[in-house]
Amino acid sequence: MERLIQEAARRLADTRRVVVFTGSGVSRESGLQTFRDPQEGLWAKYDPMEMATMEGFLRDPKLVWEWYDYRFGMVETAQPNPAHHAIAALERFFATVTVVTQNIDGLHQRAGSTDVVELHGSIRCYRCLSGAHTGFTRADFADQAEMPPKCPQCGDLLRPEVVWFGEMLPEDALERAFYLAEQCHAMIVVGTTGEVQPAATLPHLASRAGALIIDVNPNRDLITPIADFYLQGPGGEVLPRLVSALRLAGRGKLG
């Protein structure tokens, strides 16, 4: 495995524009549950899939808000793990490093990544139900006692600015992700199975454009067949070793 990591690092060090595409496996290493994981405590009797739909919100907005309050609390106490820190450290070696993530927790930014495309939105941001007013934070409605809170501008109900099941991804984020995939020299795929569309097409776009593809996951996935390197293991174990190998290679932006 170590020789494979070193060879991947040598190939990677010859590139300049890098995209890191991350999925829920990276957040799981920080102790955050996915929607597919068994829920705990009071929420064990609820289907999380129903909480992340417009239908569920319209049926019981208070319940859905309480659910996202619970998840926000989990995100607030979670800490970036070695995978997040290693991804941020990649910026020392390349002209550009952009993280394209399916995660909504903001842990990449907290670890120090400076260019992050959030395909599924952010649990830290909110918008009114109509979508006319966006980008609110919890500070904007901290003085509201009622739940769910209302838009400070139009009075409509606020909702988390995340992508629910059945909704389209944010157009700007998706267009930028497609552009980056087609322009990058290398794409490192971490903690995603490559099943969720349309984001799952990104590694394929990059591969067809000639980019080096490195797949990091404990188990083989739908990206593995097109990967130039499959580095088996959790991102928190593999990526720090890849960064160390890059440092030894002595190339990249600082070389």
Residues 130 and 233 in one domain: no
What local confidence, expressed as pLDDT, does residue 76 receive? Answer: 93
What local confidence, expressed as pLDDT, does residue 255 receive? Answer: 45
Q: Could you tell me the pLDDT band of residue 254, with boundaries at 50, 70 and 90?
A: very low
Residue whose token pair is 């020789």: 3
CATH of the domain at 49: 3.30.1600.10
Q: Which of 140-144, 163-167, 249-253 has the highest mean pLDDT?
A: 163-167
140 assigned to some structural domain: yes
24 assigned to some structural domain: yes
What local confidence, expressed as pLDDT, does residue 135 receive? Answer: 86
Complete DSSP assignment for 70-128: HHHHHHHH----HHHHHHHHGGGTSSEEEEEES--S-HHHHHT-S-EEETTEEEEEEEE
Residue with more model confidence, 244 or 151 = 244
Residue after which a domain boundary falls, among 162, 190, 219: 162
CATH of the domain at 219: 3.40.50.1220
Examine the pLDDT at 226 and tell me if it is beyond 60: yes
Examine the pLDDT at 115 and tell me if it is beyond 60: yes
Residue 142: which domain range? 42-77+122-162
Laid out side by side, the sheet with 17-22 consists of: 116-118, 96-101, 17-22, 186-190, 212-217, 229-232
Residues 98 and 224 in one domain: yes
What are the residue numbers of the active site? 120
What local confidence, expressed as pLDDT, does residue 239 receive? Answer: 99
153 assigned to some structural domain: yes
Residue after which a domain boundary falls, among 112, 132, 162: 162
Lowest mean pLDDT among 25-29, 123-127, 249-253: 249-253
Provide the angle, in degrees to the nearest 10, between the axes of the packed helices 82-89 and 235-249. Answer: 30
The whole-model pTM stands at: 0.92
Distance of CA 29 to the CA centre of its chain: 13
Examine the pLDDT at 44 and tell me if it is beyond 70: no
Q: What is the pLDDT of residues 8-38, one digit of tens each?
A: 999 999 999 999 999 999 999 999 977 665 5
| CA–CA distance, 149 with 140 (Å, rounded to integer) | 10
Mean pLDDT of 49-73: 89
What local confidence, expressed as pLDDT, does residue 176 receive? Answer: 98
What local confidence, expressed as pLDDT, does residue 244 receive? Answer: 96
Q: Could you tell me the pLDDT band of residue 145, with boundaries at 50, 70 and 90?
A: confident
| CA–CA distance, 137 with 214 (Å, rounded to integer) | 35
| CA–CA distance, 156 with 201 (Å, rounded to integer) | 35
Residues 91 and 191 in one domain: yes
249 assigned to some structural domain: yes
